[in-house]
Amino acid sequence: MRAVGIIAPGGPEVLQVIERAAREPETGEVRIAVHAAAVNPTDIGLRRAGAAVPAPWTPGMDAAGVIESVGAGVDRLKVGDEVMAAVSPRRPEGGAQVELLVVPAASVVSIPTGASLEQAATLPMNGLTAMLGLELLGLRTGATLAVTGAAGLLGSYVVGLAKDAGLRVIGDAKPEDEELVRGFGADVVVPRGEGFVAAVRATAPAGVDGIYDTALLHDTVFGALRDGGAMAVVRGWKPASTERGITVKQVMVSEALERTDWLEHLRELAADGRLQLRVAATFPPERAAEAEELMDAGGLRGRALIVF
């Protein structure tokens, strides 16, 4: 079967179409004929640094397609179902950018009603990342959350999920993205950039209860937090120390890939429009390098997809 392969750590030139062996699903697994697999920043990290398993590595943490076969013990899903799935690309057989993907059934649910397979491929990994970060922050109903990078895909899911959980949400945006972020459900939209802390403090004078930092601003926005507040961070950042009792919660989505209940919740919210599924562009596997370059350039509103 065809797959996107990273033959060695490096730039976009190390991405190639390779052949990988297909295997039958084992007990508790399903095999999906992949239609679309999203390209995320984690894929760029894998390409640059490699993984602990032998190359070639196949990137991709989320996919959507049609179930082609099921293993023993799987009764919730059946052949022919249109589904979306989350997967780790750091396992020996690689990730989602492959024609036939074998994954635990626990990582698979039906696509949202009304969504295409391409749209559904943008949801699993970023949706789980958003849910895990919000769980780690542990904010109560009525608390105030600030979201950096609110116009991006992960940020948009954080905004929608936070509103569904009863939080007051402050999101940042460029002027041209203000209405977009309001459309995700943000109660207040503030300018992104150097004035973020002051703008947040203007609407929450005591500081916000939590920040979900999807824009990787880190300690430069600690000033927007109240004393004892918490920040959820992605991609492993951990400060040596913090100020004013602030805590930092590292979000490691690999811990949540088999949260079927969360995937079902994401599916429901996307089906009724509370989460907006955004496809930025589609590419065949032969053009995976272009897809990653588009992602790496920043400012993408949605996700690029590899389509088989």
pLDDT band at 47 (very low <50, low <70, confident <90, very high): very high
Please write the tens of the pLDDT for every residue from 83-142: 999 999 999 999 999 999 999 999 999 999 999 999 999 999 999 999 999 999 999 999
Number of domains forming the structure of the chain: 2
CATH number at 203 reads 3.40.50.720
Mark whether 19 and 95 lie in a shared domain: yes
Q: Which domain holds residue 193?
A: 126-253
Please write the tens of the pLDDT for every residue from 154-165: 999 999 999 999
Q: Does 262 fall in a domain?
A: no
pLDDT band at 192 (very low <50, low <70, confident <90, very high): very high
Mark whether 139 and 242 lie in a shared domain: yes
Between helix 288-296 and helix 41-49 the angle, nearest 10°, is 110
Distance CA 285, CA 278 (A): 20
> Cβ of 140: how many Cβ atoms within 10 Å?
9
Q: What is the pTM of this model?
A: 0.97
Please write the tens of the pLDDT for every residue from 242-268: 999 999 999 999 999 999 999 999 999
Q: Does 240 fall in a domain?
A: yes
- The pLDDT value given to residue 299: 86
Distance CA 176, CA 248 (A): 31
Mark whether 119 and 156 lie in a shared domain: no
Mark whether 33 and 107 lie in a shared domain: yes
Q: Which of 238, 253, 268 is the last residue in one of the domains? A: 253
Question: What number of residues does the chain have?
Answer: 308
Strand, coil or helix: 246 = coil
Mark whether 110 and 30 lie in a shared domain: yes
Find the radius of gyration of the CA atoms of the chain: 19
Using the predicted structure, report yes or no on whether residue 208 has a pLDDT greater than 90.
yes
Average pLDDT over residues 267-272: 98
Please, is 272 exposed, middle or buried when counting C-beta atoms within 10 Å of its C-beta (0-12, 13-18, 19+)?
A: exposed
- The pLDDT value given to residue 130: 98
Q: Does 43 fall in a domain?
A: yes
Mark whether 151 and 216 lie in a shared domain: yes
- Contact at 8 Å (CB) between 226 and 206? yes
- The pLDDT value given to residue 21: 95
Please, is 167 exposed, middle or buried when counting C-beta atoms within 10 Å of its C-beta (0-12, 13-18, 19+)?
A: buried
Helix residue ranges, H only, the chain: 41-49, 117-120, 124-137, 153-164, 178-184, 196-203, 260-271, 288-296
The structure tokens listed for 169 are 């949400």
Q: Which of 104, 133, 140 shows the shortest CA–CA distance to 27?
A: 104
> Cβ of 241: how many Cβ atoms within 10 Å?
6
Using the predicted structure, report yes or no on whether residue 278 has a pLDDT greater than 90.
yes
Q: Does 130 fall in a domain?
A: yes
Q: Does 272 fall in a domain?
A: no
Please write the tens of the pLDDT for every residue from 54-68: 999 999 999 999 999
- Contact at 8 Å (CB) between 34 and 101? yes
Query: Which residues neighbour 297 within 8 Å (Cβ) at sequence distance 6 or greater?
Result: none
Average pLDDT, the chain: 97
Mark whether 167 and 56 lie in a shared domain: no
Per DSSP, the chain holds a count of helices (H) and strands (E) of 8, 15
- The pLDDT value given to residue 298: 87
Beta bridge partners of 129: none
What count of Cα atoms within 13 Å lies in the side-chain half-sphere of residue 81? 22
Using the predicted structure, report yes or no on whether residue 41 has a pLDDT greater than 90.
yes
